[in-house]
């Protein structure tokens, strides 16, 4: 039997030790014992990049549909149902793939019998997977809301700050970039600089934006100079909360 392997792990699961390698190893071992051939492996480790798993799933789905006949693909092979199917929409698409191309689903841990009973078991577990995914998303959003209310930003810290692994102070001024932020506001507050001349001045003084783009461009300067994060304001869902992180500039300089 020819199968296409699919492995997925979220950022949270990676932190908890649930690895892609473990999934792939388990699938390869089962395939070897069963005499199956893995014709292709699709692997996605979710990260901060939103929607990475959805893009990968669509790529896998399209590839299997386009190559099912030529590669004689019999099944999509995953470690468990919730690795490949996290909502009912995915479940329907995969069932349609079986109806149109004869490509079934098979797993290392989950097994579904034939007929109506097997279909019921599959649909129930798919619904549970969607519930878990939806509930997790709700809890993540709730956690992000609470973090902002407590005065800390979510996601990556803006230029001039850096994220650290400290629950008491998860965002701190960057040792070098924080000085650059202060210098940007000082120079701009003088009223003697346009964005272009400000960028020239920063470059002459050795200040850099990022390794791939050392020079500050207009968009970056405008973002920094108009970002109220630097005066301790965090906005979420239309509300403004007071930040608890160390400030780089005061409101007077920001408003100048």
Helix (H) or strand (E) holding 250: none
Mean local confidence (pLDDT), 90-107: 84
**2-145 and 161-255, same CATH topology:** no
Q: Is 236 helix (H, G, I), strand (E, B) or coil?
A: strand
* Sheet of 37-45, strands arranged across: 37-45, 2-9, 73-78, 104-107
Handedness of CA 94, 97, 98, 104 (dihedral sign): negative
> In this predicted structure, what is the pLDDT of residue 117?
60
Distance CA 182, CA 229 (A): 13
Local structure of residue 238 (DSSP, 8 states): T
One CATH from 3.40.50.720, 3.40.50.1390, 3.30.1600.10, 3.30.420.10 for 2-145: 3.40.50.1390
Please name the residues in contact with 26: beta carbons below 8 A apart, sequence gap of 6 or more: 79, 108
> In this predicted structure, what is the pLDDT of residue 131?
67
Are 7 and 28 within 8 A, CB to CB?
no
* Domain boundaries 161-255, corresponding CATH code: 3.90.1750.20
Give the count of alpha carbons within 13 A of 30, CB side only: 17
Instruction: Check whether 23 has a pLDDT greater than 80.
Output: yes
Which residues in 17-52 are b (16+ Cβ under 10 Å) and which e? eeebeebbebbeebbeeeebeeeeebebbbeeeeee
Are 64 and 4 within 8 A, CB to CB?
yes
> In this predicted structure, what is the pLDDT of residue 61?
92
The more confidently predicted of residues 46 and 190 is 190
| pTM, full prediction | 0.57
Q: Is 113 helix (H, G, I), strand (E, B) or coil?
A: coil
Distance CA 5, CA 95 (A): 17
Instruction: Check whether 128 has a pLDDT greater than 60.
Output: yes
The more confidently predicted of residues 8 and 173 is 173
Question: How far is it between the farthest Cα atoms of the chain?
Answer: 77
> In this predicted structure, what is the pLDDT of residue 173?
97
Q: Where are the chain's structural domains?
A: 2-145, 161-255
pLDDT for 174-207, tens place per residue? 999 999 999 999 999 999 999 999 999 999 999 9
């Amino acid at each position: 039997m020819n199968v296409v392997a699919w492995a997925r792990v979220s950022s949270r699961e990676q932190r908890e030790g649930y690895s892609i390698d473990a999934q792939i190893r388990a699938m390869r071992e089962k395939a070897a014992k069963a005499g199956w051939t893995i014709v292709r492996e699709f692997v996605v480790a979710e990260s901060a990049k939103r929607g990475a798993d959805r893009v990968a799933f669509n790529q896998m789905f399209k590839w299997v549909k386009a190559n099912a006949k030529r590669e004689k693909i019999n099944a999509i092979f995953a470690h468990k149902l919730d690795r490949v199917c996290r909502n009912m929409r995915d479940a329907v698409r995969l069932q349609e793939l079986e109806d149109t191309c004869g490509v079934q689903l098979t797993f290392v841990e989950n097994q579904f019998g034939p007929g109506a009973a097997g279909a019921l078991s599959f649909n129930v577990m798919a619904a549970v997977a969607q519930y878990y995914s939806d509930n997790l998303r709700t809890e993540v959003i709730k956690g992000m809301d609470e973090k902002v209310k407590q005065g800390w930003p979510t996601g990556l810290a803006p230029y001039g700050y850096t994220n650290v692994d400290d629950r008491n102070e998860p965002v701190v001024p960057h040792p070098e970039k924080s000085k650059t932020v202060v210098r940007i506001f000082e120079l701009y507050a003088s009223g003697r600089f346009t964005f272009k001349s400000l960028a020239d001045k920063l470059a002459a003084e050795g200040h850099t934006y990022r390794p791939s783009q050392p020079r500050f461009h207009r968009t970056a300067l405008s973002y920094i100079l108009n970002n109220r994060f630097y005066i301790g304001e965090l906005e979420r869902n239309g509300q403004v909360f007071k930040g608890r992180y160390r400030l780089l500039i005061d409101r007077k300089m920001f408003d100048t």
